[in-house]
Chain A
Amino acid sequence: MIVDPQYLRRMARQASSHAEDLRQEARRLRAGAGVRWQSLAADGFRGRLAALAGSADGAADRADVLAGALRREADDVEAELARLAALARAAEQLAEHAVVDLGNGLTGGAAALGAILSDGLSDLPSRAGR
């Protein structure tokens, strides 16, 4: 079974989409800092929101890294498959040439063999008469 590079690219697009989803949630988290609440606890809460938003952005960044890695992998797989295909074609051509050469070789050999055999056979009556 051979993997389809396009399938890997679809996975990359999914990862990018997830990254955007995470960034959207980060924006929502940051927007929550605007809720009307002023107190010592509120300060801590806003700090927490900022940290969570930062974590969401960080996760989004990592999802983007994953997407990039998947795209690179798709490219590499595609290139490898192309290289293998080229190799296969080259092998095929080589095989074709070999067959032709073999055929040519066989033809020439047979002719030479025929000539030898013909010469030999033509000598047999005289040798037999001696």
Chain B
Amino acid sequence: MTGAVAVAAADGWRVRGGAGGVDAELDDLEAFADALRGCGLRVGSVVAALGRLAVDPALPLAAPLAPAAALRTAAALAALAAPGGALLLAARIEATGLALGAAARTYRAADAAAGAAVDSVRAAAGELLVVAGATAAAAAAGTIFLGLGVAGGAAVAGGLPVLPLLPALASAGSRSSLGELVGVLVRAAGTAGQEVLAAHPELLDLAVLGTSRLLADPGAPVGRVDPRVATGLLLALGRSTGRLRDGRAAAVQPLVPPPAGSALAPVPSGLRGLLAGSVAVSHQPVGGAAGDACGPGAAARVRVLQVDGRHGRAWVVQVPGTACWSPVAGTSPVDLTSDAALAAGQRSVLAASVTSALGEAMGAAHAAPGEPVLLVGHSLGGMVAAGLAADPGFRRRFAVRAVVTAGSPVAGDPVPDRIPVLSLEHRTDPVPRLDGRANPARAGWTTVTADPSSPGPARDPAVRPGRPGDAHAGEVYLGTAGRMDASSDPRVRAALDPLTPFEATDPARVVVRDYAVRRLP
């Protein structure tokens, strides 16, 4: 396994042509896994010896003679035996050894499967991710995979980590909207092949990380599936199930937009300002009959900004990210069904609706053909943006001049070289890696990878340790965008340069047009 080379930047991010891969020396991993288990045994032996000191009969004899010192000794012994102290250390080291061994076996099994199945690999993006277990590779590894989002529920049996995936998912799903996903996963597991997993070892890494996390905290309660990570689970399904069947796009309906320049409609100034609108519309869905964002009749909000830019009038399309997590398609198209359709390379209702919205907006303004268009989106919105830029039909109708994506798996979108793409990714955000391949490394496609989870200039306290899903949040990407705006890194400046025609020269003249977009059955 080899990984791509990244170029480190002084500002704390990496600028490169695509997301990372997996590079591991499996023999070394297995050897160190054994070493870790030995280490755990030795530490256990030492801790036991220290424990024997605590019950030495000399201590009670000495106590009457030196009561104050005896109290200090007792306190020192208590500190050694404290919960979470040395007594658990040995177990934790051994568990880490087990996890590492499982990781090595997982990689090795996948390598073997890849060799056997390479000819039958299908490239459909919708079949990319088989984080859900029950694959032969997983069984061979003695490990049931689970993605990043499901925490806890692990047991250690027979020296190997075993996670009963489906009950855990079911348990998690009972507290989220993902219960139905379990049934879909069960069916998908039989059709999505191990060859897919084997062909995309980067995805194994996510599974390995999930396993490691579980082992790190085997007592953790079964947690809620992180909806953002559920996007990855969904990609496992893709076209392999009819459950996630996209419908037809309804006619877009103009909405009364919030005032330009308000928090709900930020002025397109700088990368942060351009991206902020995409995050903002994600938080402004149009409620359905029951007033909720995902129920019957609910709609998503797509925004088109008319901007007087440096070179004349320009258009900025801001596409929302996923908000609805049911695998059953509803009327709001910002849902898992759109995720799956886009991941599978299909046109989605959402993409069609964005096309209609832009057409409506430009028509209302009597825009001239060839006025420049910038497509911006976070997560699902970025997938839509890149997908539209890659669509020849869309490009024939609109003059796409740039694309910005944040936290989106877009490597598979064949955006022409002449259209600059700026992709923001966070090192610990699993979502942009879910397509299992690196973004194209070429002059016109810049991928900036920041690490908001580690100490450094890109650190964001909103990203909690051990919670990779946090790094996917739109607000965290806005922080990265703001730092990029302030950066003097010439590569970053070069990546931002194509966006300047879309920045408002006069914020008061920005026209906001919002549209409700719905899916019809």
Contacts and interface: CB of A to CB of B under 8 A. Distances in A.
For A7, A32, A36, A75, the residue with the greatest tally of chain B CB atoms inside 10 Å of its CB is A32
A1 to B, nearest CB: 6
A81 B65 CA distance: 8
Given A8-B62, A69-B72, A73-B72, A39 B20 contact: yes
Interface in A2-57: 2-4, 7-8, 11, 14-15, 18, 21-22, 25, 28-29, 32, 35-45, 48-49, 52, 55-56
A39 B21 contact: yes
A84 to B, nearest CB: 8
A121 B388 CA distance: 144
Contact of B73 (A37, A69, A81): A69
Contacts of B77: 66
A44 B72 CA distance: 38
Interface string B196-212: 00000010011011001
B23 A39 contact: yes
B368 interface: no
B69 A76 contact: yes
Contacts of B29: 35, 37
Interface in B396-454: 427-428, 430, 433
B390 interface: no
Interface size class of B (residues with CB under 8 A): 35 or more
B28 A35 contact: yes
Interface size class of A (residues with CB under 8 A): 35 or more
Contact of A2 (B32, B61, B209): B61
Contacts of A79: 66
A69 B24 contact: no
B56 A42 contact: no
B72 A72 contact: yes
A101 to B, nearest CB: 33
A73 B205 contact: no
Nearest to A21: B46
Nearest to A79: B66
Interface in A68-98: 68-70, 72-77, 79-81
B268 to A, nearest CB: 33
Given A41-B209, A73-B70, 5 more contacts: A35-B25, A35-B29, A43-B427, A63-B86, A70-B73
Top 3 A-B residue pairs of the complex, sorted by shortest distance between their CB atoms: A76-B66, A73-B69, A59-B86
